[in-house]
Amino acid sequence: MASSASLHDDLASNPLLQDFEFPPFDAVDPKHVRPGIRALLKKLEGDLEELERNIEPSWSKLVEPLEKIVDQLSVVWGIVNHLKSVKDSAELRSAIEDVQPEKVKFQLRLGQSKPIYNAFKAIQESPDWQTLSEARKRIVESQIKEAVLNGVSLEDDKREHFNRIEQELEKLSQKFGENVLDATKKFEKLITDKKEIEGLPATALGLAAQSAVSKGHENATAENGPWVITLDAPSYIAVMQHARNRSLREEVYRAFATRASGGQLDNTEIIEQILKLRLEKAKLLNYNNYAEVSMATKMATVDKAEELLEKLRSASWDAAVQDIEDLKKFSKSQGASEADDLTHWDFGFWSERLRESKYDINEEELRPFFSLPKVTDALFSLVKTLFGIEIESADGLAPVWNKDVRFYRVKDSSGSPIAYFYFDPYSRPSEKRQGAWMDEVFARSRVLARNGTSTRLPVAHMVCNQTPPVGNKPSLMTFREVETVFHEFGHALQHMLTKQDEGLVAGIRGIEWDAVELPSQFMENWCYHRETLMGIAKHYETGESLPEEVYLKLVAARNFRAGSLSLRQIKFATVDLELHTKYVPGGQESIYDVDRRVSERTQVTPPFPEDRFLCSFSHIFAGGYAAGYYSYKWAEVLSADAFSAFEDAGLDNNKAVQETGNKFRETILALGGGKAPLEVFVQFRGREPTPDALLRHNGLLSVPASA
């Protein structure tokens, strides 16, 4: 009796199972995960059985109870998964590993429920179908499509095979991501001789000394060292762009390019398995390859995606060839011994020197003008102008997972709260995965409203990995880090400013994957808008504004190496599609052969022979971008075209900017997944999208010679 009573007490106090207004991020420990998730799954299984028993093809007897089940799982599992991304530990990994199969099993049981599937079909075939709102029709259609892709129509033995594949894929992608984090963490280079790190800017030296302190060299200083170089983005990028020591660049580049490709952390076999299982899954569902499965829920088709990539590839090629010629010429003029033999660990360094010489811009010298507090102030002021919203600090209202995390409230023009978000800005290599992302904590929902309100408000989190504050200085950012904050905030805006009350298509839910990058990439354009940039760029100590000529140089430098950068994304997107369409697991060609073959067609310089980039390509092996990486370019076409609506209206005309901003808010940001993205775009822009604005913004539009 005592043991079951204490188990009951444990569950009653388990933070994952409380009825919370905001997740108890500060109270959840790895020890809560196994009992918490198991108790939740048991409850949801009961709810699902009850739903199936009493099911009717109506909104209240089908969709509302279904939304409650889906939401509880996504909120609680979301907390656990989020903590794994930002506060990783061996205990948390092991707890997740134990309960993950049970969670996947429940998701499959839910996704393959015949009664739910049949009830959705009945709604679609009923005489009332035409009376449903567009959002409700989209929910029904997508639930039917998802059920089929979840294997609902498979016979018993095939369904069991399908379920085994899903379990295995979930395990493999989890392991893939852990290997990348561990391999990134594993590399540390201790440097004691200042000559070895000549060229590294003060911020990078401060960061390297801070890393050394955290590794036990408590007397390390930026001035005298010792310094620790890691593969974490702020450290890696600083070395590749600024270290004069070519052999240091080579060592760090090789370590980065071969992460997770050997020893205990080798992802090669995992990739093979993932691709083999994805292909098996596609065949079970009667598709030719996994890319077709992926495209079933996207705007594009395989052919359309390939066609766009080829169009952009040919538009970028000559410019990229010229980029390399410029680097060779410039490095030669600087007396570089490697000028005739430039290779992968030289491009970043010489590009940076050429940028400094050509535009007289030094990224590092600009950092004092881009302090995080100024960047967020300017961003919040911009969205107030564009979308009529107020953002205010609400620290202390919600528990957080780290002392550096900020919490904010979003209010509409009448002063009522409409959303909240967390912001976790700095890199923490020992526990936080790389990259930057936004995700939902809660989606907006009528059905899940609390405490007598009419709707539950959306809550998001935004995570970046930028340079942390060093000593008593705030986080001083590179311009790229500024763009990243704007990008992730674009995602958050679409989640938070939704006016859609049907939870299953509110915010970012239910939007075709290749359209979700539209608002994020759209927001990046504002970093080059004079008023916005001048609002950000104030020296953190003196308050002086960025000089006008520097602003003009930044704008001029925007398309520096645009051809090369465009081809880099096209290479990633093409290798992703190639691996998910033509590659035969266990066949003549290895994954690295495919990567090399694609590189030869999409890169103007020969590939690095030992390159094992695929082993850390988390987007497609541990994230949601499998046969979907092309989405960045697809959505960039949409976002550039959307921004060109503001250019057409006149960026200096405040009234026109506000009117266009309001239209953007009422369409792209408001309608969520409740309307097909192409229709949403046309409603905003008045026509279908074209790639012209993207090519023009990148300086890649071949201008016909005038007669």
Contact 203, 476 (CB under 8 A): yes
Three-state secondary structure call for residue 188: strand
Q: Please answer whether residues 56 and 116 qualify as being in contact, where contact means their C-beta atoms are separated by less than 8 angstroms.
A: no
- Six token digits for residue 580: 């998910």
Please name the residues in contact with 535: beta carbons below 8 A apart, sequence gap of 6 or more. 377, 378, 381, 382
Angstrom distance (rounded) from CA 433 to CA 460: 18
For tokens 């010429």, the residue is 329
Q: How many residues does the chain have?
A: 707
- What are the backbone angles phi and psi of residue 512, rounded to the nearest 5°? -55, 135
Q: Which of 488, 502, 517, 524 is catalytic?
A: 488
Mind giving me the DSSP string for 515-563? GTTHHHHHHHGGGGSHHHHHHH-B-TTT-PBPPHHHHHHHHHGGGTTHH
| Distance (Å, whole) CA 257 – CA 240 | 12
Burial per residue of 42-79, b for 16 or more beta-carbon CB atoms within 10 angstroms, e otherwise: eebeebbeebeeebebebeebbbbbbbbbbebbbbbbb
Q: What is the DSSP string of 251-297?
A: HHHHHHHTTTSSGGG--HHHHHHHHHHHHHHHHHTT-SSHHHHHHTT
CB atoms within 10 A of CB 546: 17
- Tell me if 428 sits within 8 A of 232, measured CB to CB: no
Taking the C-alpha atoms of residue 377 and residue 324, their distance in angstroms, rounded to an integer, is: 38
Helix (H/G/I), strand (E/B), else coil: 223? coil
- Which residues touch 343 (CB under 8 Å, ≥6 apart)? 605, 608
Radius of gyration of the CA atoms of the chain, in A: 26
User: What number of CA atoms fall less than 13 Å from residue 319's CA on the CB side?
Assistant: 21
Residue type, 18: Q
Residue 295 falls in which region: left (phi positive, over 0), alpha (psi -120 to 50) or beta? alpha
Of the chain, the end-to-end C-alpha distance in Å amounts to 93
Tell me how far CA of residue 162 lies from CA of 45, 313, 669, in angstroms: 21, 37, 36
Query: Which string of DSSP letters, residue by residue, matches 401-466?
Result: SSTT-EEEEEE-TTS-EEEEEEEEEE--TTTS-SS-EEEEEE--BSTT--TT-SSBPPEEEEEEEE
Listed residue (198, 221, 490, 479) closest to 349, CA to CA:
198
Dig out the tokens for 600 from the structure.
Answer: 């030869």
- Token pair of 305, please? 């995606």
On the 0-12 / 13-18 / 19+ scale of CB atoms within 10 A, 474 is middle
C-alpha–C-alpha distance, residues 614 and 243, integer Å = 26
The verdict on whether 488 is a catalytic residue reads yes
Q: Which sequence positions are flagged as catalytic?
A: 488
